[in-house]
Amino acid sequence: DKAGHRHFMAKEIAEQPSRLTSALSFYLSDDGAIRLPEPGIDFTGVDRLTMVACGTASYACHVAKYWFEQLAGLPVDIDVASEFRYREPPLAARTTALFVSQSGETADTLAALRYCRGKADRILCVVNVAESSIARESDLALPILAGPEIGVASTKAFSCQLLVLGVLALEAARQRGRLDGAAYAEQVESLRALPGLVNHALSISDEAARIATRLAEARDVLFLGRGRMFPLALEGALKLKEISYIHAEAYASGELKHGPIALVDKSVPVIVMAPHDELFDKTVSNMQEVMARGGRVLLITDRAGAAAASHGVWETLVMPDVADLWAPILYAVPAQLLAYHTAMAKGTDVDQPRNLAKSVTVE
Ligand code: F6R
């Protein structure tokens, strides 16, 4: 049931405010305390977190790495499951392994989990399907409560994975004494603001559709982001290529001049994801290098970012203001909407892209 939408993907993008609200009410009590399913997680005994996933779920891990490291001072290793399992990496003492999967059935992720059995202190998972193999075989399963995701391209599962990982990072920071009560309460409040902000961000859909008619003419698209926004650039590129079949690549903004800038000319749209945060000026200087070479820049930013840096850019999408830390959750929305509308403009099968399956249970 598409609930009046043309595609499951559109429905699932639109559902994000209510799905995020469900996840928040599961993990936060009224007094603002974080509640984890029993028996909870003791982060004071963890020296290292090893995160393993595939595709979009692995990009959620990459965002979470910034959160765990910056907020909780907890070192994080990440690998895609198909590399991790065959590399057979040694796990350091006091390592907790964390697997992220929408379906809970991805073959490589499940095999990586089984490899960690007996090697990691503890096996956690962040899953959407609670009755899945990955959930069953973990010591503790943390549900993302996104509801069934039918569209092959993951949308609401990604934002809900991010939310749950953000909650975990906050809890880790609190337990490890890295956040005082006021700072913790402030971050909890900013998490609570997300459903409303995501709802507001959905209103850029018409503008994204207008821009998408131009993106649909491109053969290649580059995405750039720095820090927490780099994984969002990766996610934007993956979404675009999987449903519109346009070749898209993402780079950390600072890597541009180490090679990819050679690709830039006026036929390659460059999508820059940059809220006005502590790294904004650095990203803008990379953006100016693109424009100086004739590149057409689509800047996705907030009001302050647009006021500071819209000059000379091809298009600007203005997002609501959001706490710096949680911006990746909000900026998932324009990444999804641009891919969706570009696919619509090209007439591709959005919910059932060629060659792809929703659940990859073969290796
Ligand atoms: C992309 C997408 C895939 C999945 C990946 C992992 O839109 O949906 O990249 O994220 O196949 O699937 P799960 O999360 O079910 O393990």
Question: What's the pLDDT at 148?
Answer: 97
Residue 94 zone, left/alpha/beta (φ > 0; ψ -120 to 50; rest): left
Output the CA–CA distances (angstroms, integers) from residue 164 to 62, 130, 193, 318, in the order listed. 14, 14, 15, 26
pLDDT digits (tens, 9 = 90+) for 227-275: 999 999 999 999 999 999 999 999 999 999 999 999 999 999 999 999 9
Q: Between the CA of residue 36 and those of 28, 40, 59, 168, 172, what are the distances in Å? A: 9, 5, 23, 9, 11
pLDDT tens, position by position, 161-182: 999 999 999 999 999 999 999 9
Q: Could you identify the atom of ligand 1 that is nearest to the CA of residue 106?
A: 16
Chain position carrying tokens 């909890």: 188
Probe residue for ligand 1, chosen from 61, 85, 102, 240 as the CB with the greatest number of ligand atoms within 8 Å? 102
What band does 357 get if pLDDT is binned at 50, 70 and 90? confident
Tens-digit pLDDT profile for residues 39-61 = 999 999 999 999 999 999 999 99
Which SS3 state, helix, strand or coil, does residue 126 take?
strand
Query: Which pLDDT belongs to residue 356?
Result: 85
Q: What is the number of H-type helices and E-type strands within the chain?
A: 14, 10
Q: Which residues contact 152 (CB under 8 A, 6 or more apart)?
A: 242, 351, 352, 353, 356, 357, 358
Is residue 94 within 8 Å of residue 45, measured between CB atoms?
yes
Which atom of ligand 1 sits closest to the CA of residue 54?
6
Minimal-distance CA residue to ligand 1 atom 10 = 56
Residue 189 in this model has a pLDDT that exceeds 90? yes
Question: Which of 65-103 are b and which e, b meaning 16 or more Cβ less than 10 Å from the residue's Cβ?
Answer: bbbbeebbebebbbbbbbebbeeeeebeeebbbbbbbbb
* Annotation marks residue 282 as catalytic: no
* ipTM of this complex: 0.99
Cβ atoms within 10 A of the Cβ of 162, count? 30
Cβ of residue 106 lying under 6 Å from some atom of ligand 1: yes
pTM to 2 decimals?
A: 0.98
